[in-house]
Amino acid sequence: MTTLAKIPEAEAFILHWGEMGSQWGVNRSVAQVHALLYLSDRPIHAEEICVALGLARSNVSTALKELQGYEIVRRTHVKGDRRDHFLAETDPWDLLLKIAAERKRREIDPTILLLGDLVARLEGRKDVPDHVRQRIGHMHQFIGTLTSWYEDVRRVPKPTLIALMKLGAKVARFVPSRGGTR
Amino acid sequence: MTTLAKIPEAEAFILHWGEMGSQWGVNRSVAQVHALLYLSDRPIHAEEICVALGLARSNVSTALKELQGYEIVRRTHVKGDRRDHFLAETDPWDLLLKIAAERKRREIDPTILLLGDLVARLEGRKDVPDHVRQRIGHMHQFIGTLTSWYEDVRRVPKPTLIALMKLGAKVARFVPSRGGTR
DNA sequence: CGGCTATTTCTGAAATTACAGAAATAGGAG
DNA sequence: CTCCTATTTCTGTAATTTCAGAAATAGCCG
């Protein structure tokens, strides 16, 4: 199988994945390289990725480093070939968790730090309208709540998590003294 | 209060919000306009936004249209002034739900359609490796599961949702025949 | 240690995106 | 209906980002 990008359906998947990436702040090439590896059942070396996607070697190199930063792609070696080969995470659930973890680290954590700092600086200031202090405070709290919820659920074993998702709104029944799904 | 962007803390918030936006695929100016309105306790007209943020009138116009598309900013009118004024959603939770709804509509729904189409085209094809069909199928299913979970929980009343979040991993206790949080 | 290949970093060019100002349009007031 | 102001759309320019190829580095093998 040397022709992944020659299968029109695989190509469509890869291109769409690239577009999705760029709409969510991930470099298009990075997303395409990921999609290619996701569809591959064997480790691929950088040069092959270049050919398959029509990207420059340098960009593929950067993309691979980025994907390894997310821990959704890892290096392996193929016997008798000293080039690095690359392999992607294939479980979509793991993929989501890994991406979430890294984006939290890169973007959410610094945001919480900044907002915390702003809240501290605004404390007891007479020259700043109350509602400004309050709204920055609310946002800080909200993101903090979401984040600790995330930290909580990411430790739940995957099968339990999947079971919970399938329950969907039914979990609302277990909220003390509440009716449930309206 | 005509000096929101003159408060260094407010300015820092607005600038950071803009950066966050661009990391998540939202135009920086759009995010900044939103941040300004979020911090304001009164409706603001377009010209004032331009001055406060140093953006071109045209970009502010585009940004406002975009924010109204997300339904997180709405037009109002101030007595004795025939210019449009704008006001932002102030509840972070509503904000998140509105943004999620719109991004689902714009990006996730089309993705599910595409993947569904690819899955259909790959059905029973002998010239495509099994694992390609399977992986596209898995991704299709996964995104579908996430989406129906989302459709489920977005109907849950906000207070219940907040209570559920605070429960965090404890909800795992209610998953039938599972131990819970490990 | 010298040659060879793989990989990463650097640099200028190409493409994309954001922008300001001008022009066009819309819509109320008189 | 005409004038006047607000708003949106259009257009050329500026800034940013992406990219390919070149140069530099690293690391094996004989």
What does the pLDDT read at residue A168?
77
- Which has more confidence, A174 or A67? A67
Q: How far is the CA of A2 from the C1' of C3 (A)?
A: 31
Percent residues over pLDDT 90 in chain A: 70
**What pLDDT is recorded for position B80?**
79
What's the average model confidence in pLDDT over A14-22? Answer: 92
How many C-beta atoms lie closer than 10 Å to residue B167's C-beta?
18
Q: Could you identify the residue written with the tokens 């939770």?
A: B93
Burial class (CB in 10 A: 0-12, 13-18, 19+), B129: middle
Distance of CA B115 to the CA centre of its chain: 22
Q: What tokens appear for A13 in the block?
A: 């998947």
What is the number of other CB atoms lying within 10 angstroms of the CB of residue B157? 15
Chain A residue numbers touching B175 (CB-CB < 8 A)? 160, 163-164, 167
CB–CB of B136 and A13 under 8 A?
A: yes
Q: Name, in order, each residue with C-beta under 8 angstroms of B111's C-beta and a sequence gap of 6 or more.
A: A16, A20, B143
AA identity, residue B26: V
> Does B181 sit within 8 Å of A118, measured CB to CB?
no
Q: Is the dihedral of CA A112, A117, A118, A124 positive or negative?
A: positive
Q: What is the pLDDT of residues B137-152, one digit of tens each?
A: 999 999 999 999 999 9
Q: What is the mean pLDDT of residues A10-25?
A: 92
CB-CB contact of A119 with A136 (8 Å): yes
Q: Does B38 touch chain A (CB under 8 A)?
A: yes
Please give the nucleotide, over all strands, whose C1' is closest to the CA of residue A53: D19
Strands (E), A17-118: 44-45, 73-78, 81-88
Query: Tens digits of per-residue pLDDT, A94-135?
Result: 999 999 999 999 999 999 999 999 999 999 899 999 999 999
Surface of A (95-134) touching B: CB under 8 A: 96, 106-107, 111, 114-115, 118, 121-122, 127-129, 131-132
What's the pLDDT score for residue A171? Answer: 76
CB contact under 8 A, A169 and B153: yes
Pick out chain B residues at pLDDT < 50. Answer: 1, 178-182
CA of B36 to C1' of D18 (A): 31
- Residue pair A142/B92 in contact (Cβ under 8 Å)? The answer is yes
pLDDT at residue A31 greater than cutoff 80 = yes
**Nearest residue on chain A to B88, alpha-carbon basis:** A135
Strand D closer than 7 A to residue A35 Cβ: no
pLDDT digits (tens, 9 = 90+) for B90-110: 999 999 999 999 999 999 999
Measured CA to CA, the distance from residue B140 to residue B133 in angstroms comes to 11
* A30, pLDDT greater than 80: yes
CA A164/CA A93 separation, integer angstroms = 13
Name the most confidently modeled range: A55-69, A122-136, A150-164, B41-55: A122-136
Q: Which residue is nearest to nucleotide D6 (CA to C1')?
A: B83
- Calpha distance A92→A102 (Å, rounded): 15
Q: What is the 8-class DSSP label of residue A75?
A: E
Nucleotides of C under 7 A from a protein CB: 5-11, 17-22, 28-29
Q: What's the rounded Cα separation, in Å, for the pair B87 and B92?
A: 14
- Residue whose entry in the numeric block shows the structure tokens 């691979």: A64
3-state secondary structure at position A26: coil
**Beta-ladder partners of A85:** A45, A76
Model confidence at A177, in pLDDT bands (50, 70, 90)? low
